[in-house]
Structure 1
């Protein structure tokens, strides 16, 4: 199955593949309001164009009705800003990484999958670095100015580790914001993941490739606790979606059922991958931490516990990830102590 699709979702508009674009132009990122059918959405532009100024559709982010995501609105052709005073040029062959986010979960399941081709460039020349547009979420640069220029990315340590596992470690990363960029040769690959809509086989192959480079830790059942993360972000209601009392209960019940309780943010990425790769059962609250299950082997059972955002139903993104990775999905409603105890015990094979 090439894609794990949400019910009602459509396959990508452009067939999956890889293109090598000579003398590529990466246009600047722009975003604005879009009003349609009584609904206020957002549009964005910023894509790859070829030597003639023609759009490379493979570089666009598809849109599938998500009101929180902007609609790609790039022109079919642009006038290239060549000549004196034009954009800076990147020499050699680079890889286009889509939209670059600093949010762990989105980076893991939306940005990293765009690195699914092996690092060796089409044509045999090694990839010199990564080029990406800034995240399509968050405040957008209003106009070119200081701080908005294309510049090397400041990477979090966990981003460096994920890039290293994907085979792109140590490479420069250029983020395009309010200024365009020219590239001698730019490799553009299809985006295998559209969050909440589809997860492609190329993404799964990459996650498995990354996990294969790490020795499994050998813990059969792992519970990914967010208690410390939530305690450190207690004043941010957007990040904290679980009451502290319920966090404590989940840790207690998981320990009683035989789970190893871990706090992912206290571990290196490699340590996290080692735990997930070796686990037969993975459990935790809905959200970014549980997305780490993409590194677990096919056949792993993934137990998702609802939070205050979605207390009674699983996140569509998690179900799609589980399906694509060959995992068995189980769901427990938020703050249902009896259900959690029963499901955790059954998942590890303990008597109920």
Structure 2
């Protein structure tokens, strides 16, 4: 269907200012969708996450702040017609819905560069210009697509848990995803029994969706604080440990971005001498990645998506992370380790050019490897 959708100025309204809570998920899913409702599976809470070790000049205050607040686990349902465009921009009844960043970590953000072409903000108002091509979705659907959906770490930590949480509700729905997703997405969907017929591929840059009944699952993490609910999703990969190595060094030397270590060869050789096997997860199919990490007792590597595969490792696996002390401190591994009961330590190298690039002193790498073997 095509229909002109003229640029216009609309009011801005916080989601929780217009959403009504319901007591059970069955009540949320029963009958036709009316207005905006949500069910809260789990309340938010604060926590303290202790690192296995903290080496170098990392900002411990930022670590404590980013791991402290576990968000509420909520599933929203919107009825009566919702326009969906950009990366999670939602308009209902002439109002742009503001999603709480605490509950929606990477969805509907106004600061995404991709969204800049669709809206201009002015105080309590917004100028919107959705794509003029409109496609009506007249069956129940889940809005799963979000920022970062082409990145493995975001799939593992954000999209996959959001999907499994939503599918725990008593409903059969289709799933809205970006039309340009990574090739491994189909394999993950098959693990949840989802075939291509249940996916609505959204061409974000060229079309606006008009959904009559859309479920919007919240996020299961805020910053680096991760809810135990993620285990429902990660445990859907019940791979038996293979006969592979138990000590893994996760290298980024073959990724598109390359290693963040200016002295990667030196540190990798050091790890090999200590009994670690170099692995490049991005070169392996998903089932082999799962089996490899399911058998790991020790995992060390550079911060990033590949290291997040410890989500498939058992409780007790020790994890060591090497990263930069400047810019955004990539300590999301702390949240994974906490919910998987995996002692996780950090070693911060010396800045070497930008916020990601570092030189890892050999003595600091030795301390990290020693901490992996220390008796607690």
1:61 to 2:76 alignment: no
In 2, the alpha carbon distance for the partners of 1:333 and 1:90 equals 48
Taking the aligned partners of 1:182 and 1:327, their CA distance within structure 2 comes to 43
**CA separation in 1, counterparts of 2:193 and 2:326?**
38
Q: Deviations over 1:81-100 (max 9, x none)?
A: xxxx9831124222111414
Deviation of 1:46 (Å)? 0.4
Distance (Å, rounded) in 1 between the aligned partners of 2:139 and 2:123: 26
How far residue 220 of structure 1 moved from its aligned partner, in angstroms, is: 2.0
1:54-78 alpha-carbon deviations (Å, 9 max, x no partner): 8485797359xx9986899799999
- What does residue 253 of structure 2 align with? 227
Aligned positions of 1:241-260 closer than 5 A: 241-243=260-262, 246-260=263-277
Aligned with 2:241 (options 216, 220, 228) = 216
Q: How does 1:4-23 map to 2 (within 5 A)?
A: 7-8=64-65, 11=69, 15-23=72-80
Q: CA contact under 8 A between 1:119 and 1:167: conserved in structure 2?
A: no
Deviation at 1:267, TM superposition (A): 0.3
The match for 1:87 is 134
Q: Distance in 1 between matches of 2:200 and 2:313?
A: 28
User: Any conservation in 1 of the 2:89–2:97 contact (CA below 8 Å)?
Assistant: no
Residue 199 of structure 1: aligned partner:
226
Q: Is the 8 A contact 1:299 1:328 kept in 2?
A: yes
Deviation of 1:298 (Å):
2.3
Give the Cα–Cα distance (whole angstroms) in 2 for the partners of residues 62 and 111 of structure 1. 11
Distance, in Å, in 1 between the alignment partners of 2:122 and 2:47 is 27
Q: Secondary structure at the match of 2:104?
A: coil
Of the three residues 287, 290, 314, the one matched with 2:307 is 290
Instruction: Tell me which of 79, 82, 85 is aligned to 1:28.
Output: 85
Q: 2:287 aligns with which of 270, 279, 282?
A: 270
Structure 1: gaps (5+ residues):
31-44, 79-84, 133-151
Q: Which digits, 9 at most, give the CA deviation of each residue in 1:156-188, with x for residues without a partner?
A: 222223333355453424334453212243222
Q: How far apart are residue 303 of structure 1 and its match?
A: 0.7
Could you say if the C-alpha distance between residues 248 and 56 of structure 1 is closer, same or farther in structure 2, counting changes exceeding 3 Å? closer
Counterpart position of 1:160: 186
Query: Corresponding residue for 1:336?
Result: 361
- Over residues 114-144 of structure 1, what are the superposed CA-to-partner deviations in whole Å (9 max), with x where a residue is unaligned? 2132636x444x222x225xxxxxxxxxxxx
What residue in structure 2 maps to residue 303 of structure 1?
Answer: 320
SS of structure 2 residue aligned to 1:201: coil
Q: What is the CA deviation profile of residues 216-251 of structure 1, one whole-angstrom value per residue up to 9, with x for unaligned ones?
A: 22432211111222xxx4xxxx654222xx222232
In structure 1, distance between residues paired with 2:273 and 2:138: 57
Counterpart CA distance in 2 for 1:347 and 1:329 is 9
**Contact 1:3/1:324 (8 A) holds in 2:** no
Deviation at 1:16, TM superposition (A): 2.4
Identify the residue that residue 114 of structure 1 maps to in structure 2: 162
Tell me, yes or no, if the aligned pair for 1:313 and 1:331 is still in contact at 8 Å.
no
TM-score, normalised via structure 2 length: 0.63
Q: Distance in 2 between matches of 1:113 and 1:75?
A: 34
Match of 1:321 in 2: 336
| Aligned structure 1 segments of 4 or more residues deviating by more than 6 angstroms | 51-54, 66-78, 311-314
Aligned partner of 1:96 in structure 2 is: 143
- Provide, for residues 28-48 of structure 1, a one-character-per-residue CA deviation record: whole Å limited to 9, x for no partner: 228xxxxxxxxxxxxxx7037
| Distance 1:69-1:297 versus aligned 2 partners, 3 A rule | farther
Tell me if structure 2 keeps the 8 A contact 1:211–1:277: no
CA RMSD of superposed structures (Å): 4.2
Aligned to 1:117, what secondary structure does the other structure show? helix
Cα distance in 1 for residues equivalent to 2:209 and 2:328: 43
In 2, the alpha carbon distance for the partners of 1:339 and 1:312 equals: 20
